[in-house]
């Protein structure tokens, strides 16, 4: 039995894929009639597809239940804890140290997947056997699943790109052109690698599906909520107005704040994140954010 927690856009998609592969699937959400206790009682695999803001709440509820140490937790959330900057998988592992934890992340815009369009993703874990099991659950002729042994890198790829996707939306909203977008995405990737490696992830992971792959998807698609936030800010709307009309979470907003604090604390240069932060706080206009990036001190592309 597989239990999917969170019946939003992504959770519903993942449940559909596993169901189509012949697995028994339970879905649980805050609004379902099924209690969480019942939903996870026979679960061999628990897939969490809740937004970052609900993670601690759900984990607290699960903590009180008796779960087998063999139960595999799969995290599909792309965010960072506002208080601790821990990733969802780190929080799952802190709470359930004996259970295998797997992250599932990749260029997976749910609106395309629900139409049956082809996509690929990555499942990563320190427990290779758990990753292989999850790979089998979700692999299909429309969804190609790769395993990976760098869960932190895979998780951070999917999380950090949301900040760049906001900036890419601004870039397109201001009609800055393809050269500007290419520069932004490439330098955004450099920023992701810089903080990711500082936190212990492997550099090469960021050049795979969950890093570069997801950057390409979300920085170019109007289906991305994070991209939409940037695009609409560039169009002159304010953040409250945008969020009131946005379907689902734009995790990049909270991630930007967490990253800004971490980069300041660790003295890590993250100029794109800095400008996205100032823009979200309404401290600068989109055009001023662009100027802020273009007028930085000139420097080598890579610093030793
Ligand atoms: N939609 C997409 O294309 C993709 C989304 N993701 C990630 O998956 C996560 C969920 O995204 P979506 O499904 O699109 O968002 P959504 O807004 O459609 O769904 C979020 C779900 O989390 C649940 N939730 C939030 N707080 C909760 C709490 N305190 N207790 C219980 N449940 C709670 C909501 O009820 C809802 O079912 C996000 O972190 C997102 O970045 C990852 C890949 C693709
Ligand atoms: O992470 C995603 C696709 O891989 C979804 O992006 P948004 O959260 O920006 O919609």
Assign domain 158-294 to a CATH class: mainly alpha
Which string of b and e fits 254-265 if b means at least 16 CB within 10 Å? bbbbbbbebbee
CB of residue 6 inside a 6 A radius of ligand 1: yes
Residue reference for tokens 């628990």: 46
Residues 217, 219, 82, CA angle at the centre, nearest 5°? 100
Domains 2-149 and 158-294 share a fold: no
Please report the pLDDT score of residue 304 as a whole number: 67
pLDDT in tens, 9-23: 999 999 999 999 999
Please report the pLDDT score of residue 4 as a whole number: 98
CB of residue 76 inside a 6 A radius of ligand 1: yes
pLDDT in tens, 75-131: 999 999 999 999 999 999 999 999 999 999 999 999 999 999 999 999 999 999 999
Q: Which two tokens stand for residue 159?
A: 């999380």
Q: How many whole angstroms separate alpha carbon 261 and alpha carbon 271?
A: 13
pLDDT in tens, 120-159: 999 999 999 999 999 999 999 999 999 999 999 999 999 9
pLDDT in tens, 44-70: 999 999 999 999 999 999 998 989 999
Which strand (E) or helix (H) includes residue 63?
Answer: helix 55-63
What is the ipTM score, two decimals?
0.98
CB of residue 77 inside a 6 A radius of ligand 1: yes
Helix (H, G, I), strand (E, B) or coil at 148: strand
Please report the pLDDT score of residue 303 as a whole number: 81
The answer to whether residue 161 is catalytic is yes
- pTM (2 d.p.): 0.98
Q: How many whole angstroms separate alpha carbon 163 and alpha carbon 41?
A: 37
Domain limits, the chain: 2-149, 158-294
Segment 275-302 shows an average pLDDT of 96
In this structure, what are the phi and psi dihedrals at residue 122, rounded to the nearest 5 degrees?
A: -130, 135
- Which of 14, 154, 133 minimizes the C-alpha distance to 90? 154
- The residue from 115, 133, 161, 181 that is catalytic is 161
CB 175 within 8 A of CB 154: no
Higher pLDDT, 72 or 64: 72
By percentage, how much of the chain surpasses pLDDT 70?
100
User: Under CATH, what is the fold of the domain 2-149?
Assistant: Rossmann fold (3.40.50)
Which strand (E) or helix (H) includes residue 171?
Answer: helix 151-173
Which atom of ligand 1 is the closest one to the Cα of 10? 13
Q: Which of the ligands is closest to the CA of residue 227?
A: 2
Mean pLDDT of the chain: 97
Return the best residue to mutate from 75, 122, 162, 252 for the ligand 2 pocket (most ligand atoms within 8 A of CB).
162
Residues 106, 112, 117, CA angle at the centre, nearest 5°? 90
- Which of 179, 138, 181 minimizes the C-alpha distance to 47? 138
pLDDT in tens, 227-285: 999 999 999 999 999 999 999 999 999 999 999 999 999 899 999 999 999 999 999 99
CB 157 within 8 A of CB 192: yes
């Amino acid at each position: 039995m597989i239990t999917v927690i969170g019946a939003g856009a992504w959770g519903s998609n993942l449940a559909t894929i596993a169901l189509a592969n012949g697995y028994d699937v339970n879905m649980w959400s805050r609004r379902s009639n099924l209690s969480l206790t019942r939903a996870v009682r026979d679960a061999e695999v628990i897939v969490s597809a809740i937004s970052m803001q609900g993670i601690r709440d759900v984990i607290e509820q699960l903590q009180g239940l008796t779960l087998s140490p063999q139960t595999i937790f799969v995290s599909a959330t792309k965010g960072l804890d506002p208080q601790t900057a821990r990733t969802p998988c780190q929080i799952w592992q802190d709470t359930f140290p004996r259970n295998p934890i797997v992250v599932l992340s990749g260029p997976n815009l749910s609106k395309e997947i629900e139409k049956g369009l082809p996509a690929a993703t990555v499942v990563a874990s320190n427990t290779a056997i758990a990753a292989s099991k999850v790979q089998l659950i979700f692999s299909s002729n429309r969804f190609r699943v790769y395993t990976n042994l760098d869960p932190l890198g895979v998780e951070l790829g999917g999380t950090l790109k949301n900040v760049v996707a906001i900036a890419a939306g601004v870039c397109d909203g201001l009609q800055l052109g393809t050269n500007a977008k290419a520069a932004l995405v490439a330098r955004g990737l450099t920023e992701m690698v810089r903080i990711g490696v500082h936190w212990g992830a492997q550099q090469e992971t960021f050049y795979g599906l969950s890093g570069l792959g997801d950057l390409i998807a979300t920085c170019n698609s109007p289906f991305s909520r994070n991209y939409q936030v940037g695009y609409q800010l560039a169009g002159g709307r304010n953040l409250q107005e945008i969020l009131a009309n946005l379907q689902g979470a734009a995790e990049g907003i909270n991630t930007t704040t967490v990253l800004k604090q971490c980069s300041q604390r660790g003295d890590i240069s993250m100029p794109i994140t800095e400008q996205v932060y100032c823009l979200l706080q309404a401290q600068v206009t989109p055009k001023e954010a662009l100027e802020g990036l273009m007028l930085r001190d000139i420097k080598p592309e890579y610093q030793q």
